[in-house]
Structures are given as structure tokens and as C-alpha cells.
Amino acid sequence: MSHTELRNPAHGDADNNRPYEHAPGLLAEAFAWLKAPVTPPDGTARQSALLRQGELTKPAGSLGRLETLAVDFAGWQGRSLPSLEHCMIRVFAGDHGIVAEGVSRFPQDVTAQMITNFIHGGAAISVLAQQWQADFAVVSLGTVVPVPAELAGHPRLRQLHLAAGTGNICDTEAMDALTLARALRAGADEIDSADTLQLFIGGEMGIGNTAVSAALASLLLDLSPEETVGRGTGVDDDGLSRKRIAVRRALDRHRAACDSPLEALRRLGGLEIAALTGAYLRAAQRGVPSLVDGFIATTAALLACRINPPVRDWLLFAHRSAEPGHRHLLEALGAEPLLDLQMRLGEGSGAAAALPLLQSALTVHAGMATFGEAAICAGSPTHD
């Protein structure tokens, strides 16, 4: 079911907020796809790639993660010599009511302004996407300030406007159930729009979304705001204190009712976080790996794994964010990121910065000679 088929009623409609398994027909159908089967990576292709690694002209294991990356991609693509030519990058954008609590240095207008910047090529992720000639677009899910009218119809912009941002989670729920369903489906629709896809990178934009992600991380991992809340856009000590207080208020209000990952996402999440969650789920269902960015993206990745656990086999983690909550999310997912550059920009920029490592891993895997081809003695496995 496409998000365009879903009605978007006003917040607070009683039918929209029923438990998902007991929801009325249309709503139950809207969430049913989340549990669709996820096929494991191809074990035979992985083994073939692993054997090839053992035959290349180098000591076994000497290329470290470059070796395991090649083996992972072999499993994901079902062939011993994988390649990386078709990468999709999507930035999902939406506003957050929690901004009213003074959790950000920037006003909410910046979300719509940054959408314009993405489209015009001025943002970090725009530059990196251009460098790698990725399939790049921005999905605007709902901003308080409208996106400029002159951008309507731009090929790199999808305008859905599911809501004028989310509710302030200190006082109310972030969204109703149908809005959540439509946001999840928006992410899935982007994956389904590609005929050929070998890697998905999801980015996000939304003033206030590190506060929302901290609330979700605290709830899902049973952590305090002191462990998950960081400076985000660079708030000072007073701003950090306000942010922790706001997250604590949100947790106090919603914790008891968050009896499932979906309900946690509905009550505490954001439109762009829901879309990222849907994209990770759908990519895994289609047999496409996702390169996960930083704190906010990893929050969505954890939600996707809680909703459909086999999704984890299709996730690769790009970098360790400077946001303190990210470490806890990575530990919960058993993830070892590729980079640690003290980045905290979001947008998918950390994931795009890791693309050269993936390209190098696959190029070396396919291009190196074997010991037999190079007529070099492989040596005894008992020697260093």
C-alpha cells in the first residue's frame, strides 16, 4: 500500500491510536508489510568470497575490515565478486514540536531552509552525493515553514507534507497512527522506486531531532537522559540542561504506554525517523544493504531491528557519532562502525564519507592476483 492511499486524519482520532494488532482493516493493512520476511544473506557467496580472500597475494587477514566488507557484500549480492555501482541517498526531513522547549540553537525555519540548500547542492551530503554520482533526493515529510513554492516539481524533491511537524512530545504524542503508517511507507516507497539498487544511505534533517532520538534511545535501552542527550547543534550548558529536562518530561509522560517499538516511535519519534525506519526495513526485505549514518539514523536502525529482527543482517554502520547516545545504540546493535571522525552533522554525511572504504574493499577483492596467478608461494599457514 502506497502512502498516497492512506487518509491522514487529524491528531487524536480515537480509531487511529488503537493497538496495531487490533486496528481497523485499513490501518492493520498499512502496518502489515513491516513484518514481511527478510531473506538472510547468501552463505554460499560469502564462503566463495572468503576462499578467494585466502588465495589473494597477502597474509590472511592483513587487510582487516576491507576483507570482511568484501565478504559481506558478496553475501548481500549473492556473488563472489560484488561491485558497488548503484547507491541511493535519501534525506528525509521533518520538524519537531519539542523545539518549543528550547532544545536547539537554531529556529525551526532552518529545516525548510536546509531542504532548499540540499536541492541547490550546497549541503555536505549534496556535495558527497555528487562526488559518488549517487541517486540523491530529499523527501520533505512535514515542515512548519513551507518549502519554497519554486521548488515544487524539482526532480530531487518529494513533497509529502504528512503534517506540519510533530507534536511536542513533552505534552502530547508525536503523531497519530495513520501519520506514522504513512511516514514509514514513505521510506519504503523510496526503496521501491529503484529498479537497480546495491546500497542505501539514509540521511535526515529536522531541527530538534537529536532530542527526539535521545528520548527514543533512553526508552528503548532503559537509559537516563544524562546518558543519551548531547549538544546536537551545539547548545551551551544551559541548552543542554533544558534538553535533558525536556527528554525526561517526555519519557515520564509516555514511558508506560510504549509497549512496542511502533508505539514508542508514534509517541516519541519524528516523521523523518519513521521514514528512515521504513526505508531500512524495506531495503532489507528487498535484499539491499543499508549503510547507517550517525545517532539519529542508528535510532531508526534499532527501531527497524526491534520491529523485524532479521533486518540486522543487512545493516552496516558507517561512523561513530560525537553524540553520547550513539555509543549505546551501537552497543545494543552489536555494531562496530567503520570510521570515528567525531562527526555529528547528520544528513547521511558520515555514511557518504565511508563510501571510499567500500569501493576500495570491493576493488581490491576483485582486482588483486591470487598466489597461483602471480606464481608466488603462499607459504605455510603455521608461519607468520
Rounded CA-CA distance 315/203 in Å is 15
> How many other C-beta atoms can be found within 10 angstroms of the C-beta atom of residue 309?
10
d(CA 361, CA 301): 24
**107: part of which helix (H) or strand (E)?**
none
Q: Which three cell numbers stand for residue 118?
A: 540540499
What's the order of all strands across the beta sheet hosting 135-142? 157-159, 135-142, 87-94, 199-205, 290-292, 315-317
The three-state secondary structure class of 40 is coil
DSSP reduced 3-state for 194: coil
- Amino acid identity, residue 6? L
Run of H or E residues at 15: none
Is 263 designated active site? no
Which H or E run contains 314?
none
Cβ–Cβ contacts within 10 Å for residue 191, how many? Answer: 23
- Is the alpha carbon torsion for 312, 314, 317, 323 positive or negative? negative
CB 46 within 8 A of CB 318: no
- Residues 67, 190, 263, 347: which is the catalytic one? 347
Phi and psi angles of residue 157, each rounded to the nearest 5 degrees, phi first: -130, 130
The dihedral built from the CA positions of residue 180, 235, 147 and 172, taken in this order, carries a sign that is positive
Cα gap 218→240, rounded to integer Å: 16
Active site amino acids: 347
